Amino acid sequence: MIKEKYITNVKEISLNVSQSRIDSVRNKNITKTGLRVYDNGYIGYAGAIGNYDESDLLNKALSTLDNRISYDFGIEANKKIHEDYSTEIIDENKMLDEFETLLSVLREEQPDFYFSHKFNLTDYSVNLINENGLDLYHKDRFISLGLLFKEKKSLNIMDGFVGFEGRKYDRTLALKDIFHVLNAYKNKVDLPNKNILPVVFNTSEELPFLKFFQDLDGNNFGSGSSLLSGKMGIKVFNDNFTLYQNNNPNDIPVPFFDAEGVVNKNYRYSLIENGIVASPYTNKRISKKYNLPLTGSATCEYDGVPTLGVPALKVKESVKTAKELLGGEMGIFVLMTSGGDFTPEGNFAAPVQLGLLFDGEKFIGRLPELNISSNLFDMFGNSFRGVSKDNCSLLSTSKYMIMDMKVSKL
């Protein structure tokens, strides 16, 4: 029998913003411990929040072996990697004063708007350790600045969102980003008079990837219920489209290993490479069941069995800037959508509540409410222009993803 522990800790300071002022401070420090036992091809498991009794936890884990949940996939061994991505972002004791100051600037210089939502400073660690010599440890600290804005004269409950998540903070840069969006918002512009236009997404926006989350799921892919089933090794997308499963902490604040201890080269795995379907995302169970590559996409509740999770995705960047990808045209930057989805055939449509006219470097103005529509194989096929090498924000690593789509006023 092999014992394995999966321990997560979240320590967070959260400042809540209401009516452009901080109205509350929340502290959180929560440790969750999962204990797994592997015995004769079966897995037992138990978990605890906060303090726990070691022998109680073990007995509970042993008792769940009676469920006879098979786990005969090779347990990770002899691998010790400790990585610490945490840096001094902001002095915790000065956080309240700092964001009071930032909000006072916004109140003074953007008096047409109300701001609400959160500033979070999060310390996160995860440790996977077993009796086979596995010891993976990831530690991180990141700041999330998220502000909903609402024009004072507007009848909406919110009009837009500004913010970033990353490992650095600078008030001047943060305000520059926020002002960039707000100043564009105040300038109403018309939609360019064309049916097909370049549509620009921030790469952290999940909407255009919804179909990949579903149809690159190893279960769907392997069982033949995905649009991409049977297309492994076949080119169905643009030559310039490469999609990674992304566990790389240098790109986003994620652990470099999955819940089964799988560590990929460069902490990424190619799911689509130069337009060719390379692999669905899998965990050990799915990989074995359908004879698919193991991509290391397991997730786990603290007290449960590792299961297939939805990974973070990253599109390989081009060598061009957003301005170069737009090639002199104006783009439609999608800041806020209301729903939107794909049909089973891959047809896509989404109402855009807030779109900004974008020249590749600057947001020019606010567009009327729009519909955007296309099809998965066009969006990432002939209509795909690429992902920019330049970042959307001065404080995060998100890029611009640009594709041509049908655009019309709502």
Partner 1 sequence: MFKFPEGLYTDVRIEDVYETKIIYTMGEIEESKERTYKAAFIRIFDGEKWYYNSISNIEDIQAEIDLLSQYANPNEHIEENPVVKKFQVNKENLLKFKDGDIKKISIKEKQNLLKEYFPALQEYEFIKHWNAYYVDRKIYKEFYSSKGSSIKFDNQTTGLTIKMKFAKGDKHLAEAFQKSSNNINDIKGKIEEFKSFVSKCYDFLINSKPVEPGNYTVILSPIAAGVFAHESFGHKSEADFMIGDETMKREWAIGKTVGKELLSIVDDGNINGNGYVPYDDEGTRAEKTYLVKNGLLSGRLHSATTAYYLDEDLTGNARAINFEYEPIVRMTTTYIEPGNMTKEELFSEVENGIFIDDIKHGSGMSTFTIAPSLAYYIKNGKIADPVSISVVTGNVMETLNEIDGLSNETEIMSFILGGCGKMEQFPLPVGFGGPFVRVKSLNVQ
Site residues (CB under 8 A) for partner 1? 16, 18-19, 22-28, 30-31, 45, 47-51, 64, 67-70, 114, 117-118, 150, 152-158, 214, 219-220, 223-227, 229, 285, 303-305, 307, 338-345, 347-351, 353, 369, 371, 373, 410
**Smallest distance from partner 1 to CB 320, Å:** 30
In DSSP notation, 168-224 reads: ---HHHHHHHHHHHHHHHTSB-PPPS-SEEEEEEETT--GGGHHHHHHTBHHHHHHT
Which C-beta is closer to partner 1: that of 31 or that of 270? Answer: 31
Which phi-psi region, left, alpha or beta, contains residue 223 (left: φ > 0; alpha: ψ -120 to 50)? alpha
Measured between alpha carbons, how far is 74 from 158 in angstroms, rounded to an integer? 50
**Smallest distance from partner 1 to CB 300, Å:** 10
**Smallest distance from partner 1 to CB 141, Å:** 18
**Smallest distance from partner 1 to CB 90, Å:** 18
**Smallest distance from partner 1 to CB 194, Å:** 18
- Indicate the pairing of strand 160-166 with strand 134-151: antiparallel
Cross-strand pairs, 167 = none
Which C-beta is closer to partner 1: that of 204 or that of 248? Answer: 204
Let me know how long the chain is.
410
Which C-beta is closer to partner 1: that of 231 or that of 323? Answer: 231
**Smallest distance from partner 1 to CB 376, Å:** 11
Q: What's the token pair of residue 240? A: 């310039």
Within 255-337, strands assigned E span 268-273, 276-277, 298-299, 307-308, 313-315, 331-337
Which C-beta is closer to partner 1: that of 155 or that of 319? Answer: 155
**Smallest distance from partner 1 to CB 313, Å:** 19
Angle formed by the axes of helices 171-185 and 95-109, nearest 10°? 30
CB 185 within 8 A of CB 367: no
Which C-beta is closer to partner 1: that of 36 or that of 314? Answer: 36
Which C-beta is closer to partner 1: that of 102 or that of 325? Answer: 102
R_g of the chain computed on alpha carbons: 23
Which C-beta is closer to partner 1: that of 157 or that of 319? Answer: 157
Which C-beta is closer to partner 1: that of 56 or that of 239? Answer: 56
Q: Which of 255, 228, 256, 254 is nearest to 243 (CA)?
A: 228
**Smallest distance from partner 1 to CB 152, Å:** 6
Q: What's the token pair of residue 104? A: 């006072």
Tell me the one-letter amino acid at 377.
F
